[in-house]
Amino acid sequence: MGEVKKITIDMNEKALDQDLERYVARAMELGASNAKVVLADKIPVDERVTLKCQIPRCFGYGVGAQCPPNTLKPAELRDLLTKYTRAVFFIKDVPPDVIVRDKTTIKERVDAYQQLYKMVSEIESMAFYDGHYLAFGLAAGSCRHTFCGQLKDCQAMNGDKCRFSLVSRPSMEAVGIDVYKMVAQAGWDIYPIGSSATAQSVPKGTLAGIVIVQ
């Protein structure tokens, strides 16, 4: 961690542009394939994204504290985003055989998701200590499977402390962000990968993360 900055009334607004560029650079150092600064009002939030958690029903639906229907609703996120101006958005490309649902690559898949969650939490932490103390991050997939997949339940759903409270986050899609659209908007490549996709049928997998900074 660098030097912790004093809190100012404007939340260090003057330093914001430089700080955002540092977060982009740090995302790339941490393994992002692409990263950029985006405007908060250009983040696409759509109720149909969380509809797709239920139809067809995702194995993560309802079984973790950070997934629908237990997390922030799209309307709540949309409202919150009106209070922010800028965010750092990044993707991490993964090989096709790692992203498709193949039992032989579970370890590599979980490792890739864990790396993405760590990127999000580190950049969120950088922003916090730079004085952008209301920054918050969103990751990809489900923390239930990324961190607690070998465990019988989500501890937070039982009223106990989340086992990975500092690194666990809702995913972008869990709160209604249209990640496919957002990646395409950024000019980057992404492909629809569902249960039937095979490693031969897709060029790559894409995991996305975002830190809404200020």
* Nearest approach, Cβ of residue 115 and ligand SF4 (Å): 15
Asked whether the beta carbons of 173 and 140 are under 8 A apart, the reply is yes
Q: Output 123 or 156, the one with its CB closest to ligand SF4.
A: 156
Q: Output 66 or 214, the one with its CB closest to ligand SF4.
A: 66
Question: Which residues ranging from 162 to 181 are in contact with ligand SF4 (CB under 6 A)?
Answer: 162-164, 168
* Nearest approach, Cβ of residue 56 and ligand SF4 (Å): 21
Q: Output 27 or 162, the one with its CB closest to ligand SF4.
A: 162
Question: Which residues ranging from 53 to 82 are in contact with ligand SF4 (CB under 6 A)?
Answer: 64-66
Cα distance between residue 27 and residue 8, in whole Å: 25
Cα distance between residue 114 and residue 94, in whole Å: 13
Cα distance between residue 53 and residue 153, in whole Å: 19
* Nearest approach, Cβ of residue 201 and ligand SF4 (Å): 30
Closest CA to 170 of 57, 64, 54, 39: 64
User: Any residues with CB less than 8 A from the CB of 150 and at least 6 apart, and which?
Assistant: none
* Nearest approach, Cβ of residue 198 and ligand SF4 (Å): 28
Q: Output 74 or 170, the one with its CB closest to ligand SF4.
A: 170
Intra-chain end-to-end CA distance of the chain, in Å? 20
Site string for ligand SF4, 120-159 (x = CB under 6 A): -----------------------xx--xx-----xxx---
Q: Output 156 or 208, the one with its CB closest to ligand SF4.
A: 156
Establish whether the linkage from the previous residue to 96 is cis, with ω within 30° of 0.
no
* Nearest approach, Cβ of residue 114 and ligand SF4 (Å): 11
Pairing of strands 34-39, 136-138: unpaired
Find the helix or strand (DSSP H, E) in which 91 lies. strand 86-94
Does residue 118 belong to the site contacting ligand SF4 (CB under 6 A)?
A: no
Closest CA to 123 of 214, 13, 41: 214
* Nearest approach, Cβ of residue 148 and ligand SF4 (Å): 3
φ and ψ of 39, to 5 deg:
-80, 140
Site size for ligand SF4 (CB under 6 A): 14
Residues that bind ligand SF4 (CB under 6 A): 64-66, 143-144, 147-148, 154-156, 162-164, 168
